[in-house]
Structure formats: structure tokens, C-alpha cells
């Protein structure tokens, strides 16, 4: 995840605020959407038994978050 943040930071010319929502979004992407080679094509959440159902994982995560 650190490499992803660094790549994004280069394009943005640094992070302006430490509490930027971009960091949280990258964390969610890394843990729930991005498949990892080291986990045999699973996301970290899937490896822990958390499955996000639906074709669009982003949409499902947002819908679930808005119900709370």
C-alpha cells in the first residue's frame, strides 16, 4: 500500500492534509477491491472471510456504509 500512496502523492505533488479522504480510499481499495498475487488472486478481506457481493464492489461498499 505504501507504494500506491507514494505513486499517488507524486502525481498530486504531495499530500496537503494528513486527514485527506484519498488515503482512506486507497486503504479501502487495497483491502477490499484490489486482488493480490500473494493471496492467490484474493483481496485481503476475502482472505479473512469477508466477501463483498455484487458486480461493482465500490458501489456495494458505499451502499452498505450508507445504511449505518
CB 15 within 8 A of CB 22: yes
36 contacts: CB under 8 Å, gap ≥ 6 = 42, 43, 44
Whole-Å CA distances, 56 to 15, 32, 49, 61, 63? 28, 12, 19, 9, 11
Q: What is the distance between the alpha carbons of residues 64 and 58, in angstroms, rounded to a whole number?
A: 10
Mark the ranges of the chain whose per-residue pLDDT is less than 50. Answer: none
What ranges do the domains of the chain cover? 2-66
pLDDT in tens, 38-52: 999 999 999 999 989
- For cell 494528513, what's the residue? 18
For residue 66, the model assigns a pLDDT of 87
For residue 57, the model assigns a pLDDT of 92
Amino acid at each position: 500500500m505504501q507504494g500506491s500512496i507514494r505513486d499517488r502523492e507524486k502525481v498530486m505533488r504531495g499530500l496537503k492534509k494528513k486527514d485527506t479522504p484519498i488515503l482512506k480510499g486507497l486503504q479501502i481499495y487495497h483491502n477490499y477491491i484490489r486482488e493480490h498475487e500473494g493471496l492467490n488472486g484474493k483481496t485481503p478481506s476475502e482472505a479473512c472471510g469477508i466477501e463483498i457481493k455484487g458486480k461493482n464492489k465500490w458501489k456495494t461498499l458505499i451502499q452498505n456504509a450508507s445504511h449505518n
